[in-house]
Amino acid sequence: MHTRSTPQLRVARPSLDLDAATSFYTTGLGLDVLGTFADHAGFDGVLLGHAEWPYHLELTRRCDGPATPRCTDEDLLVFYLPDRAEWEAAVQRLHALGARSVPPSNPYWSAHGLTFRDPDGHRLVLQHGAWP
């Protein structure tokens, strides 16, 4: 019998300010720092998420100079938060960090959520609801 392992997803993004981006995702969204690395093949980085989740976010910075993040309005990280209190708490934490919601380019995301920019200009959607 063949046993399938659960795939894991890592989303990797460049950051101009690892400290600010890490604070945005840990303080604002409640993600944990799963690991860090320094000068690994010319990159510093941080891995964020939760140990039991099959996905995590990697933020990196080149040691020899920053890679400029190239973001579009449709490059999104979407977090579905079905619990209303959890969703509201995440929104309040982001506001406390100084993050302000921005209008989404796709109006679908404003029906039940809010879109924010992280410190590097990447967009994050906090969607109040469960994945369909």
Q: What is the pLDDT of residues 22-56, one digit of tens each?
A: 999 999 999 999 999 999 999 999 999 999 999 99
Q: Does 87 reside within a domain?
A: yes
Tokens of 44: 């510093």
Distances (CA, A) of 8 to 33, 71, 85: 17, 24, 28
The answer to whether 59 and 91 are in contact (CB under 8 A) is no
pLDDT at 71 (0 to 100): 86
Strand bridging mode 32-40 / 43-49:
antiparallel
Q: Are 29 and 93 in contact (CB under 8 A)?
A: yes
pTM for this structure? Answer: 0.88
Same domain, 58 and 84: no
**Structural domains of the chain, count:** 2
Could you tell me if residue 71 is inside a domain? no
Structural contact between residues 58 and 74, judged by C-beta atoms closer than 8 angstroms: no
d(CA 6, CA 42): 30
In the DSSP assignment, the letter for residue 121 is S
- The pLDDT-based confidence of 132 (bands split at 50, 70, 90) is confident
Q: Does some domain include residue 109?
A: yes
Handedness of CA 37, 39, 41, 43 (dihedral sign): positive
In this predicted structure, the answer to whether residue 119 has a pLDDT above a threshold of 70 is yes
What's the pLDDT score for residue 2?
Answer: 63
Q: Lowest mean pLDDT of 28-37, 45-54, 60-69, 97-106, name the range.
A: 60-69
Q: Which domain holds residue 101?
A: 76-127
The pLDDT value recorded for residue 78 is 95
Distance CA(89)–CA(111), nearest Å, equals 18
